[in-house]
Amino acid sequence: MLPSLLSTHRDFARLWYGHMVGALGDRLTHIALLTLFMVKENDPGTRIAALTFFSLLPFLLLGPLFGALADRQSRKKLMLLADGGRALLVLLIPVVWFKAASIVQIAILVFGLGVCSALFGPAKLSLVPMLVKKDRLMEANSFLILSGLIVTLVGTLFAGILLKFTGISLGFFVTAVAYGLSAFFVFQIKDKRAGQGELSAPVEYRDLWKESQEGFRYVGRHLLIFRLIQLSSVSAFLNAFAYILVVSYAAVILKQGSLGLGFLLSSAGLGMLLGAYFLNRRKTKISYQRVLWLGFFLTGIFLYLFYLRPNMVFAALFLAGAGMGVALQEITLDTMLQRIITEDFKAKIFGVKGFVNNLVFLSALILVGLAIKKWTAAGLLAFIGILSIGTAALIYLSEKEWVYQLIRKFFRLILRSFFDFKVNGLEHLPSRQKVILAANHSSLLDAVALTCAYPRRIYFMAAEFLFQHKFWGWIMRLAGCIEVKRDGFNKQAIKEALRILNSGYSLGIFPEGKITDDGRISPAKKGVGLLAKMAHAKIIPTAIEGTFEAWPKKRPFARPFPIEVRFGKPLAEKNFETPEDLAQEVMQEIAQVKLQMEKEGYLRVQPYEIVRHLIHFG
């Protein structure tokens, strides 16, 4: 991959060289600041926590603005400006410190470095598609990410060795040279498109604000995405604490200098590489949920072991294990979000994720700066480990959907007690395939009966008016129901349904579109066939019998009556030319199964109900 991509795309090669030396400069700056305060000044971690806060603050405050700026201005010039600013600022750090020893002035310089990095990042990412052919874009992005991990690992160790032999001042000078080299390679990019933004219109700040609000509303409406961003913020919180505490542990307890700090942080980077390698090798054989709780569990276990106050060797091993867990967390969370977010919302949702993570990370830095004054780094690392293990336990229980299954068993008990509830046809259910459960709809009890009959989680599509009630609307959104507008094109509902199916969950649909007034089966709308075609999912025709007699739409309360759910044989969408044909076949299958159930039902109902049954049958 290296010779081919870099030899055929010269401008991308120049960008990659700049990216590599710039990332090395970031590592040198990072380790130089750690050495200056944690080793030379014997700081327990409060100052470095404050400086890390100010270095990340620009990403929170200015990230969206710089992203828009990179779309409208010369990306090449923005990157040159950022590299020049970083080179100048790192040269000023030792001068300011050794003359004034002012942490406030250093914080201002570090904030300036963060501004330059926040400007450099989006300009670089938006420049890549202009330098690489479309069919090799994924290869280029993967190459940049892998290179960044390697620089983090090797560069951290190199920085520790360099600072040990050159001293702090010369180390900052070498860092400035690295940023200068990055600017030199960027300047060599000759592609004329690299100097232009895709848009020439000025930045509309109101539009940017509206788009960011839209992203937050989208996250609030979708429970699974909301939970993934929650987990991502928990990971950011734990990582912020662990980062400062590990540095403090190395400097205060292990009495390590710049070389030792570089060695320990490189061990964490090595663990991350191992985690990424594991996921890459097992990418077709893993469950995302299982890898996610495993990542938090590994991180928690190895951080908790710091309570034993390990020596240098064991500390490095524990950090490698924790780093592997962090890689499993971050890569899996990003992959899951990429899989389930619709294309036109990806940038907005990842913008929300970045905002939330930076906010949590910065808040955690403040907390760890206060906590480290009262407790030891080893004790706090053990506490963070316990929190990570607790998060893993919650993910594990969530994977088993114990709350959903508990509620399901509760309603199943009620149905069996009062409605003689029966289920048949479970042998027709596929084990691990995209499944749409299509059922007839004649009662409010249909969704409850189908939920109790189907052994796995179901996400239902429901009419818009049902969400208008505050309490029940909240319950339905919490359950992951999809809001469907009547007599309109449900573009958003279709996207949500496809997201659920593509994530491996089952979708429940009542193809008739509404509850029937007389219990008879009505013609189906083509939506069920359209979704099956788009998702390449199998449809399970499902007949529900007895719910109309138990609780028809016009009746205020339910009454005891036998209810049965029977699953039919799966229908493959590829066997039908149009969605309409598929939807019609689904309803015919449901009608046949329901007819058989009605005939069998005469044997277990009261005589006066037979007349009612015959009327509906006839």
Q: What is the DSSP string of 500-562?
A: HHHTT-EEEE-TTSS--SSSPPPPPPTHHHHHHHHHT-EEEEEEEESHHHHS-TT-SS-----
Domain count along the chain: 3
Domain assignment present for 410:
no
Domain assignment present for 87:
yes
Domain assignment present for 413:
no
Please give the residue range of the domain that contains residue 550: 419-617
Tens digit of pLDDT for each residue in 255-264? Answer: 887 678 778 8
Write the CATH number for 553. Answer: 3.40.1130.10
> In what helix (H) or strand (E) does residue 193 lie, and over which residues does it extend?
none
- CA 588 to each of CA 110, 425, 429, 442, 584: distance values in angstroms, whole numbers, following the listed order: 69, 17, 19, 16, 6
Beta pairing, strands 435-439 & 422-424? unpaired
Domain assignment present for 92:
yes
Tens digit of pLDDT for each residue in 391-405? Answer: 998 888 776 666 677
Comparing 51-65, 134-148, 248-262, 443-457, the range with the smallest average pLDDT is 134-148
Q: Are 274 and 180 in contact (CB under 8 A)?
A: no
Whether pTM > 0.85 for this model: the answer is no
Domain assignment present for 525:
yes
Domain assignment present for 296:
yes
CA distance 136 to 105: 45
What pLDDT does residue 386 have? 94
Beta pairing, strands 422-424 & 506-509? unpaired
Domain assignment present for 407:
no
* Domain end call among 154, 172, 203: 203
Q: What is the pLDDT confidence band of residue 185, given thresholds at 50, 70 and 90?
A: very high
Locate 607 and state its tokens.
């005589």
Domain assignment present for 539:
yes
Tens digit of pLDDT for each residue in 91-109? Answer: 988 888 777 667 788 888 9
Mean pLDDT over 462-471 rounds to 73
Q: What is the pLDDT confidence band of residue 436, given thresholds at 50, 70 and 90?
A: very high
Residues 174 and 243 both lie in one domain: no
Residues 154 and 169 both lie in one domain: yes
Residues 294 and 347 both lie in one domain: yes
∠237-243-249 over CA atoms, to 5°?
130
Tens digit of pLDDT for each residue in 376-428? Answer: 888 999 999 999 999 998 888 776 666 677 778 888 999 998 998 999 999 98
Q: What percent of the chain has pLDDT over 70?
A: 77
Q: What is the pLDDT confidence band of residue 332, given thresholds at 50, 70 and 90?
A: confident
Residues 116 and 213 both lie in one domain: no
Q: What is the pLDDT confidence band of residue 51, given thresholds at 50, 70 and 90?
A: confident
Q: Dihedral through CA 573, CA 575, CA 580, CA 586, nearest 10?
A: -70
What pLDDT does residue 198 have? 45
Residues 107 and 189 both lie in one domain: yes
What pLDDT does residue 519 have? 81
Residues 164 and 108 both lie in one domain: yes
* Domain end call among 365, 400, 435: 400
List the one residue out of 390, 429, 387, 407 whose CA is nearest residue 538.
429
Q: What is the pLDDT confidence band of residue 87, given thresholds at 50, 70 and 90?
A: very high
Locate 218 and state its tokens.
């989208």
